[in-house]
Amino acid sequence: MNKRIAPILFFLAGFSLLLFASEGDDIFREGLNSFNRGEYFQAYKQFTRLVEEEPFYYYRANAVFWQGKSLYMMGDYVQAGTLLDQFLMNWPDNAYYEEALYLTGKNNFSRENYEAAIESFIRFSEEYSRSIYLPHALYWMGEALYNLGHIDEARELYDRVIREFPDSSKREAARYRNALIDIKEREEKLLELLKWSHEEFLKSGQDNTMEKAVYDEALKAYQNQLVLYGDKEREMAHLNKLLQLKERALALKSYYLDQKEALSR
């Protein structure tokens, strides 16, 4: 009797697994469709259902990855990081591992955890030197370094993106960032020059209230414009004004130096 029942039970168990797998595939496809439509919360719910209600689903790792990616797109970077770390730890051979590692760097960057982002991008660039995500990883590593104040190191990465990945969508972004660095460096040097000439003028003892007020106005305008460097639209909109202020400030510097020389005669 037992010999007759055993094959039946085995068949029923196999059939049940196939049924669960088929239902799991449907839920997974629904999750992907929701994600592609930009319905990230709905996608997250569907992938979560797979993880929690289908413990034997053979694409469970994929569902965890898409859970994390959905949360990232929703801006829930803390929970996204937890799930991405879980995925990387448990499924190193999964097909989504490459993207998960890159996304971990982006997630850390979004949390303004720039040191962790750099570590993730370095690891990514070492393990996936031929990846389609590599120029993006290099660019975002540059952005992390830039935000930490390591401008020279950031420029090296921007230059690499420009040089090695001419077809990447990040090439223009890297060129733009380099241009802004150049402008900001020139303006900061000029600001230091202005401060120096101002100090020299005050030391000269020249009492010219009107000219001093004009100088202070130009210096203040420069400082105000430099503060606006975080906004791309404003950066380019104010560039011409900055250049005009530069010419005006240099003319004032020349005037003050002439005045100092005249007083020393």
Buried b (16+ CB within 10 A) or exposed e, 52-69: eebeebebbbbbbbbbbb
In this predicted structure, the answer to whether residue 75 has a pLDDT above a threshold of 70 is yes
What is the predicted pLDDT for the residue at 105? Answer: 98
Residue 54: predicted pLDDT:
72
* Mean pLDDT computed over 82-90: 96
- pLDDT for residue 186: 76
Contact criterion met (CB below 8 Å) for 145 and 132: no
* Residue 161 burial (10 A CB sphere; 0-12, 13-18, 19+): buried
Residues in the chain, how many? 265
Residues 175-182: what's their mean pLDDT? 89
Q: Is the pLDDT confidence value at 148 over 60?
A: yes
Helices (H), the chain: 2-36, 40-53, 60-74, 77-90, 97-110, 114-127, 134-147, 151-164, 170-204, 209-227, 232-237, 239-263
Task: Tell me how far apart the 2 most distant CA atoms of the chain are, in Å.
Answer: 123
User: What confidence score (pLDDT) does residue 18 get?
Assistant: 44
- Look at residue 46 and tell me whether its pLDDT is greater than 60: yes
pLDDT at 99: 97
Above 90 in pLDDT, residue 134? yes
**Which token pair is 21?**
């797998």
- 182-240 per-position pLDDT tens digit: 887 777 766 666 666 555 555 555 545 545 555 566 556 555 655 554 455 555 555 55
CA dist 185 and 151 (Å) reads: 10
What is the predicted pLDDT for the residue at 144?
97
State residue 11's pLDDT score. Answer: 40
Q: Tell me what pLDDT residue 185 has.
A: 76
Residues 98-107: what's their mean pLDDT?
98
Among 120-134, 173-187, 193-207, where is mean pLDDT lowest?
Answer: 193-207
* pLDDT at residue 244 is higher than 70: no
Integer angstrom CA distances of residue 131 from 30, 101, 107, 138, 247 = 28, 12, 18, 11, 47
For position 40, what pLDDT does the model report? 97
Mean pLDDT for the stretch of residues 12-21: 44
Banded model confidence at residue 6, pLDDT cuts 50, 70, 90: very low
Provide the 10 A C-beta neighbour count for residue 89: 8
**Predicted pLDDT at 16:** 44
